[in-house]
Amino acid sequence: MFNLAFDNFNDILYMQGHGIYVWSVYLIGILMIATSFLIANKRIKAIQKKIKISNAPS
């Protein structure tokens, strides 16, 4: 029914010697996306703080 390319979990990690490259690219990509979200979240909070301060009654 299914024709899987790998027989076990170790084969998935190793990938005939290419696993270190494949998984490092995945890791770098995930870290870049997470960092982008964290930076964007920090900027949004800073802008919200500026807006709140500028709208505060004097």
pLDDT, tens digit, for every residue of 2-52? 788 888 999 989 999 999 999 999 999 999 999 999 999 999 999 999 999
Whole-number pLDDT of residue 58: 65
Structure tokens belonging to residue 52: 């709140």
- Supply 14's token pair: 């190793």
Q: What's the whole-model pTM score? A: 0.75
State the pLDDT at residue 56: 81
Number of H helices, E strands in the chain: 2, 0
> How many Å apart are CA 55 and CA 49, to the nearest integer?
10
Q: With cut-offs at 50, 70 and 90, classify the pLDDT of residue 57.
A: confident
Q: What torsion do the CA atoms of 38, 43, 45, 48 make, to the nearest 10 degrees?
A: -160
The pLDDT assigned to 1 comes to 67
